[in-house]
Amino acid sequence: MLHHFRLFVLKLFTIICSLFMLFAICSEAADQWAPDLRVAIFPLEPHSSDTDYSTSSLLENRTVPYHSHHHHHYDHNDAFFCSMEQNRAHWAPFGNWSECSDSCGGCGSRWRTRECRRGHGRCECQGLDREEEACNLEVCIYPRKACCAGRRHTSIDGKFACERIEKEEQTEVKTKNTP
């Protein structure tokens, strides 16, 4: 008989399940979400009623990890506490931008980094841990060249600035200058 099933949607997913449900639900969930899910299985000790179970076995720390539950023999009427915890790695927010490496012409760059926060496993975060961008796009004053290589001066909102030249335009300019 499949009973003793409760699902609480929290940060820590909790399922109280019979042995049959243990294999049907806990195993399926772990297979479906692995490696994003850590599963621990605890046998529960019944009290006087069929639906009232004690978590004293949890306090005694008698855990049966998911990957080795098949080595243990339990009666099909035994109830288990199946604890599933999200184990996803996630990015912390990006930090502050660094100082720009140059003062004008779009020659400089600045960067910021973020940290991959891992759960209980070795999951890796998706994406890059560093962002970089050009900075100080204002044109330089003489004797420096107005804009750095790969940039040209333009007017943006009435101010002179250096904008990036697209690759197709750079190729076109080189072709025109070649004898």
Q: What is the pLDDT of residues 34-57, one digit of tens each?
A: 444 455 555 555 554 444 444 443
Statement: residue 98 has pLDDT above 50: yes
6: which residues sit within 8 A by CB, 6+ positions away? Answer: 14, 15, 16
Statement: residue 85 has pLDDT above 70: no
pLDDT number for residue 14: 36
What is the reported pTM?
A: 0.45
d(CA 172, CA 124): 42
pLDDT number for residue 46: 52
> Would you list the domain boundaries of the chain?
6-86, 90-167
Cα–Cα distances (Å) from 151 to 76, 108, 165, in that order, read 73, 12, 5
Given CA atoms 8, 13, 19, 25 in this order, what sign does their dihedral have? positive
Question: φ and ψ at 51, to 5 degrees?
Answer: -105, 0
Q: Specify the 3-state DSSP secondary structure of 101.
A: coil
